[in-house]
Amino acid sequence: MSTYITKRLLMIIPVLFTVVFLVFFMVRLIPGDTAEVIAGEQASAQEIENIRKQLKLDQPIHVQFGHYMSGLARGDLGRSARSKRPVMEELMARLPNTVYLMLAAIFIAVVVGVATGTISGVKPYSIFDTLSMFVALFGISMPVFWLGLMLIIYFSVNLGWLPSGGSGTWRHMILPAVALATVPMATISRMTRSSVLDVMRQDYIRTARAKGLTEMSVVWRHALKNALIPVLTVIGLQMGTLLGGAVLTEKVFSWNGLGRLMVDSIVARDYPVVQGAVLLIATSFVFINLIVDILYGYLDSRIRYD
Amino acid sequence: MSHGVHGNEKIKVEGEKTLKKTISLVICLLLVVALLVGCGGKEEVTPEVKDTLIVAQGTDVEYLDPHGIASTPAAIVVEHIFDTLVTLDENFEVVPRLATSWEVSDDGLEWTFELRDDVTFTDGTKFNAEVVKFNIERLLDPDVQVLLRSYIIMADSAEVVSEYVVKIKLKYPHAPFLHRLTASSNAMVSPAAVEQYGEDMSANPVGTGPYTVADWVKGEQLVLERNDEYWGEAPAMKTIIFKPVTEDNARVTMLEAGDVDVIVRVPPLEATRLSENEDLVVQQAASTRAIYLGLNVTDERLKDVRVRQALNYAIDKQEIVDVILSGAGRPLDSPLLEEMFPYKKVGPYEFDPEKAKELLADAGYADGFSMTFYYTEGRYLMDKRVAEAIQSYLADVGVDVELKTMEWASYLAFIRQPIEETETQMFMLGWGPWILDGDQMLYPMFLSEQAPPAGSNYGFYVNEEVDSLLQEGTSTTVESERVAAYGRAQELIWQDAPWVFLHSEEQIVAMKKGLEGVVVLPIEQLRLAGARWTE
């Protein structure tokens, strides 16, 4: 097991290096220039040149990359071109908000998804099943920004129940969490259904029923326990989708998290912040995957890594 | 899965089961805890006495070191934490602030300021001539990122005459210098704070202004507390909270819901509706932001002045203002705006499509021509609809324009290409100077040597007479000569029509009823130090 973990940890290094490399060059390929954007329209050419020099953007790109990598090796992500604050500080200020949003979304997705999926799986082809699977299909197919706007129009503008955007209180969290939860909720629901359906046909379920257990106890104690192992895989994979979805959701709901910071920084060509944010998200993604893989080992004794 | 389990194997399975249960439990608990932490703890504080003001701005304040700012939202906040030497009053006159009086030498090269002797920075540093010297030197230091250095670049050095008298020497005579000192980017910062915080100065702004920063959660809110040691009249509001709310309609909704007290940049369409709300007051004020259609005068067709004039006649600016901007603007009738010194009415180009067609025919384009029209979306009031309206007006006189939109950063890079590389033909832009002296409008926009990449003469306009008039206007300190030179320059520029002169935007600010003393200046400034609740 420990060899496996070590191997996986070592593999993270080339993965993250590739991410850093690609992002570094990709943000610089977008037309537009950091110095021009932050200087504003009233700045003179001389001042723009000055800013470029201060941000070291006047140096050849491979030199810039070298600087960046050597900073990175020392754990220094550089400073934001716009706010001049250390990128790490900027990211850490937003990270908790994104984590809360993701946890709230995954919580909603798991509770609702597993519940509807189980009921559908136990009573396949019932009205509930047809209906919930239709809704789930709808949920998977819906772009999150569109859903977000619809939620805002209905709950904030028309009904006036919830704030349309911003962060700060739990009321601000409801709409973005629901929007973000939709895709994983639908995926989890469909996965749970098929997994429960599969398990319910197994011999040991028949045995459990034959023992005279109540249906509730058959489903709850025997079926679900095994049915949920593949669901866990899906939840792990969904964390990645959530990180991506968070970018759009945060923008739509003005949620003060990493995603919005990243979008705003792309618009302003604040390269160090974009690079830092992508690196942070990629790192989280890689580690979440690793943790999920390790968890299988514990939850399903058939899976062995060594 | 195995059914019959015996002995050691059973113990192992039992053990794994417990482990599984524990893990699942821990995960669930973590989720719940995280959810609770995320939800609670951040409840907004509602004040008991009404001495708090919550303002929603369109964009987040990024930077609070005044010398490094270039955005209006930052300038608004800076004006409450810092003081400039001189400032603009409600009648747009330059009045004393940290400086009590001033005089300029006959050659226009030496400006002597007498300073207040009762001012202290919030870190205890005494404000005096040394501080002014330090600030001028910092503003000129090439290693300091001063985005609006063009507002101070004419300064050469500062000299301490006595404790409260400072002399600023200029590199060349520059008449608008006093006006330039009103710009928020030239505010006075505490030398001790610069020494202490260095690059992190922005996170720890120390000024002499009526407020200090109490809390700053980037992207969420910026809380200002009253500075009880303030040298001027004590502000009524104890706390001012600035919140960034990007979406125009979200700001409106928040004001209607009572979550904020003042909102800026109200969409014109919403203004009428808000003004019908009895609990709200809508204030509309002029702004110096001029919106224009830049014309690349090196283009084969646009180099003919008749074509450029024809384009000016072809567009109904009044209708654009009335219909698309719901009245939140004024058609331009000069390259300068009424609030600026020394404005001279030289227009407008009346809407006259027949005349436009005649001029086009004279220039040899009786059948019109096609052209590409670049613009950026979401930056100026109703910009997309304005662009579409222009397209249809031009189509009526035979000029087919293809609309191309670009995101701001790309657009800026595109427009700023030098003459050899430029691909511009027609492009829509806005220009909002931070001072009310016409120099900041005319000089960077119409002087031939300000063509990209040097400055903002993006259409490569050249008129030697205009050049010399603008040089004269900026250097002579005799006011009547400035008025004459700029007056003539405005006429010439108007006739040459290097722009299609569109309109200036008006600022729409909405606030709760019972709030008084909010001052909106044409330089897109919001002054809240005099704000108070009356009910």
Q: What is the pLDDT of residues A288-298, one digit of tens each?
A: 888 877 877 77
Nearest to A54 among B145, B257, B412 (CB): B145
- List of domains in chain B: 61-203 (3.90.76.10), 218-286+507-533 (3.40.190.10), 290-505 (3.10.105.10)
* B65 chain-A contacts, CB cut-off 8 A: 84
pLDDT of residue B302: 95
pLDDT of residue A169: 74
**Euclidean distance between CA atoms B300 and B161, whole angstroms:** 57
pLDDT of residue B21: 54
Residue A224: what are its φ and ψ, rounded to 5°? -60, -40
pLDDT of residue B29: 53
pLDDT of residue B35: 45
| Residue B399 · residue B369 · CB < 8 Å | yes
B114 Cβ neighbours under 8 A, 6+ residues apart = B99, B100, B101, B102, B164, B165
DSSP code at position B510: E
CA B308, B314, B317, B323 torsion: positive or negative?
negative
**Euclidean distance between CA atoms B395 and B314, whole angstroms:** 9
Specify which residues B241 forms β-bridges with.
B54, B223
* B39 chain-A contacts, CB cut-off 8 A: 100, 169-170, 173
Residue of B2, B42, B63, B145 best to disrupt the A interface, most CBs of A under 10 A: B145
Q: Cβ–Cβ of A40/B148 closer than 8 Å?
A: yes
pLDDT of residue A153: 78
pLDDT of residue B88: 92
Q: Which of A14-28, B18-32, B499-513 has the lowest mean pLDDT?
A: B18-32
**Euclidean distance between CA atoms A72 and A32, whole angstroms:** 25
Residue with tokens 């009031």: B381
Nearest to B31 among A42, A107, A260 (CB): A107
Q: Cβ–Cβ of B247/A157 closer than 8 Å?
A: no
B5 Rama sector, left if φ>0, alpha if ψ -120 to 50, beta otherwise: beta
Nearest to A93 among B218, B221, B434 (CB): B218
Q: Residue A119: pLDDT band by 50, 70, 90 thresholds?
A: confident
What pTM was computed for the model? 0.82
Q: Which of residues A217 and B3 earns the better pLDDT score? A: A217
SS (H, E, C) B81-122: HCECCEEECCCCCEEECCEEEEEECCCCCEEEEEECCCCECC
Closest-approach residue (CA) in chain B for A47: B147
pLDDT of residue A139: 83
Provide the token pair at A223.
Answer: 């079926």
**Euclidean distance between CA atoms A201 and B38, whole angstroms:** 41
Q: Which of residues A49 and B139 earns the better pLDDT score? A: B139
**Euclidean distance between CA atoms B259 and B120, whole angstroms:** 35
B201 Cβ neighbours under 8 A, 6+ residues apart = B65, B189, B193, B194
Is pLDDT at B14 greater than 70 in this prediction? no
Write the single-letter amino acid at A79: R
Q: Residue A281: pLDDT band by 50, 70, 90 thresholds?
A: confident
Q: Which of B42-46, B72-76, B80-84, B87-91 has the lowest mean pLDDT?
A: B42-46
Q: What is the pLDDT of residues A138-181, one digit of tens each?
A: 888 888 888 888 887 788 777 778 777 776 677 888 888 888 88
Does residue A201 belong to the interface with chain B, where contact is any CB pair within 8 Å? Answer: no
Is pLDDT at A3 greater than 80 in this prediction? yes
pLDDT above 90 coverage of chain A, percent:
13
Other C-beta atoms within 10 Å of A122: how many? 19
pLDDT of residue B343: 94
Is pLDDT at A41 greater than 90 in this prediction? no
Q: How far apart are the first and last CA of chain A?
A: 6
**Euclidean distance between CA atoms B70 and A41, whole angstroms:** 9
Average pLDDT rounded to a whole number, residues B392-414: 92
| Residue B496 · residue B461 · CB < 8 Å | yes
pLDDT of residue B5: 42
Provide the token pair at B162.
Answer: 């006595």
Asked whether the bond before B335 is cis by omega within 30 degrees of 0, the reply is: no
Q: Which of A129-133, A144-148, B308-312 has the lowest mean pLDDT?
A: A144-148
Does residue A98 belong to the interface with chain B, where contact is any CB pair within 8 Å? Answer: no
pLDDT of residue B7: 46
Q: Cβ–Cβ of A47/B218 closer than 8 Å?
A: no
Q: Which of residues B291 and A138 earns the better pLDDT score? A: B291
Is pLDDT at B44 greater than 60 in this prediction? no
Q: Which of residues A203 and B482 earns the better pLDDT score? A: B482
| Residue A106 · residue A242 · CB < 8 Å | yes
pLDDT of residue B36: 46
pLDDT of residue A275: 93
Alpha carbons within 13 angstroms on the beta-carbon side of residue B43 total 6
A126 Cβ neighbours under 8 A, 6+ residues apart = A120
Average pLDDT rounded to a whole number, residues B117-144: 95
**How far does A269 lie from chain B, in Å, by closest CA?**
7
| Residue B255 · residue B90 · CB < 8 Å | no
**Euclidean distance between CA atoms B94 and B112, whole angstroms:** 16
Residue of A33, A114, A164 best to disrupt the B interface, most CBs of B under 10 A: A164
Q: Cβ–Cβ of A83/B433 closer than 8 Å?
A: no
Residue of A82, A83, A152, A239 best to disrupt the B interface, most CBs of B under 10 A: A83
pLDDT of residue B468: 96
Residue B421 DSSP SS3: coil
Is pLDDT at B86 greater than 90 in this prediction? yes
Highest mean predicted confidence (pLDDT) among A141-150, B96-105, B245-254: B96-105
Average pLDDT rounded to a whole number, residues A201-208: 83
* A32 chain-B contacts, CB cut-off 8 A: 407-410, 412-413
Q: What is the pLDDT of residues A237-276, one digit of tens each?
A: 787 778 777 888 888 887 888 888 898 898 888 999 999 9
- What is the crossing angle of helices B439-446 and B464-475, to 10°? 150
Nearest to B147 among A40, A101, A164 (CB): A40
Q: Cβ–Cβ of B410/A32 closer than 8 Å?
A: yes
| Residue B145 · residue B68 · CB < 8 Å | yes
Nearest to A32 among B153, B257, B413 (CB): B413
Comparing CA positions, the residue from B375, B406, B271, B415 lying closest to residue B329 is: B271
* DSSP for B468-508, written as a single string: HHHHHHHH---HHHHHHHHHHHHHHHHHH-SEEEEEEEEEE
Closest-approach residue (CA) in chain A for B142: A50
Q: Residue B26: pLDDT band by 50, 70, 90 thresholds?
A: low
Q: Cβ–Cβ of B409/A267 closer than 8 Å?
A: yes
Average pLDDT rounded to a whole number, residues A185-202: 86
Does residue A104 belong to the interface with chain B, where contact is any CB pair within 8 Å? Answer: yes
pLDDT of residue A158: 76
* B44 chain-A contacts, CB cut-off 8 A: 168-169
Is pLDDT at B268 greater than 80 in this prediction? yes
pLDDT of residue B4: 41
Is pLDDT at A8 greater than 90 in this prediction? no
**Euclidean distance between CA atoms B8 and A295, whole angstroms:** 23
pLDDT of residue B47: 47
| Residue B146 · residue B68 · CB < 8 Å | yes
Mean model confidence pLDDT for chain B = 89
Nearest to B71 among A40, A94, A264 (CB): A40
**How far does B94 lie from chain A, in Å, by closest CA?**
22
**Euclidean distance between CA atoms A35 and A269, whole angstroms:** 9
**Euclidean distance between CA atoms B276 and B282, whole angstroms:** 9
Is pLDDT at B120 greater than 90 in this prediction? yes
B243 Rama sector, left if φ>0, alpha if ψ -120 to 50, beta otherwise: beta
How many helical (H) and strand (E) elements, i.e. helices and strands, does chain B have? 15, 21
Is pLDDT at B9 greater than 70 in this prediction? no
pLDDT of residue B41: 39
* B1 chain-A contacts, CB cut-off 8 A: 204, 226
**Euclidean distance between CA atoms B450 and B292, whole angstroms:** 17
DSSP H or E run through A24: helix A2-29
| Residue B403 · residue B391 · CB < 8 Å | yes
CA B211, B213, B217, B218 torsion: positive or negative?
positive
Average pLDDT rounded to a whole number, residues B479-491: 94
Comparing CA positions, the residue from B99, B93, B101, B91 lying closest to residue B208 is: B99
Nearest to A83 among B62, B249, B414 (CB): B62
**How far does B42 lie from chain A, in Å, by closest CA?**
6
Q: How far is CA A267 from CA A35, B78, B226, B253, in A?
A: 13, 24, 34, 25
